[in-house]
């Protein structure tokens, strides 16, 4: 499933993973033995797995996430479950951001807070918005504050190297692209669909 169907398809499922239940969204569905649907959400898991493939250690790190929509929520959940020490979330939709921060904070896994678009002081800076798909888009965060020690990642797949990732690479950062994420999401989906 893709936007805008992920939330609606959750409602069609008789059973879901704990992850999908928390997020109230699915991106993959398969039939249960009784013919009902079972759903799961792999965007966040795929994103975190691709980060690790590209040299990012998540445990104990301080992460900034830009975007609290469907993909951003899934990524935020997976970051918390992967053991980041602190997660700050920024989204211009204050109500959506507040809801996500409060729900994640309720898991009591790490400190979750409201962030800004300034990556100063973070180990990891992540874009889970469509910013960067159009030439006229601003950067999703303040690129002047990116440091070479940071890991920078972006969900968008077109262009293949987003403007944010290009700037981060020029500064010497380790990075991850949207294509890296979706390769991992694809693998997780296939494994899920082939389970008996």
Residues recognised as catalytic:
6
Find, among 90, 98, 104, the residue nearest to 22 by Cα.
Answer: 104
Cβ atoms of 191 and 53 closer than 8 Å: no
- What are the helix (H) ranges across the chain? 6-12, 18-23, 43-53, 70-82, 94-105, 163-170, 178-194
Looking up tokens 């972006």, which residue turns up? Answer: 154
DSSP 139: P
DSSP, residue by residue, 76-100: HHHHHHHT-SEEEEE-S-HHHHHHH
Cβ atoms of 145 and 119 closer than 8 Å: yes
């Amino acid at each position: 499933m893709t936007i805008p169907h992920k939330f609606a398809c959750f409602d069609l499922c008789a059973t879901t993973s704990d992850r999908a239940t928390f997020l109230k969204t699915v991106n993959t569905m398969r039939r249960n033995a009784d013919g009902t649907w079972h759903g799961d959400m792999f965007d966040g898991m795929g994103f975190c797995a691709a980060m690790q493939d590209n040299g990012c250690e998540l445990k104990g790190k301080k992460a900034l996430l830009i975007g609290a929509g469907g993909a951003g929520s899934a990524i935020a959940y997976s970051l918390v479950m992967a053991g980041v020490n602190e997660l700050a979330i920024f989204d211009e939709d204050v109500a959506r951001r507040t809801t996500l921060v409060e729900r994640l904070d309720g898991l009591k896994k790490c400190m979750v807070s409201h962030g800004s678009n300034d990556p100063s002081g973070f180990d990891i800076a992540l874009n889970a918005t469509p910013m960067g798909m159009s030439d006229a888009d601003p950067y999703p965060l303040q690129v002047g504050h990116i440091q070479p020690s940071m890991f920078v990642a972006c969900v968008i797949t077109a262009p293949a190297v987003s403007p944010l990732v290009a700037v981060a690479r020029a500064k010497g950062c380790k990075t991850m692209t949207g294509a890296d994420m979706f390769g991992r999401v694809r693998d997780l989906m296939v494994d899920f669909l082939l389970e008996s």
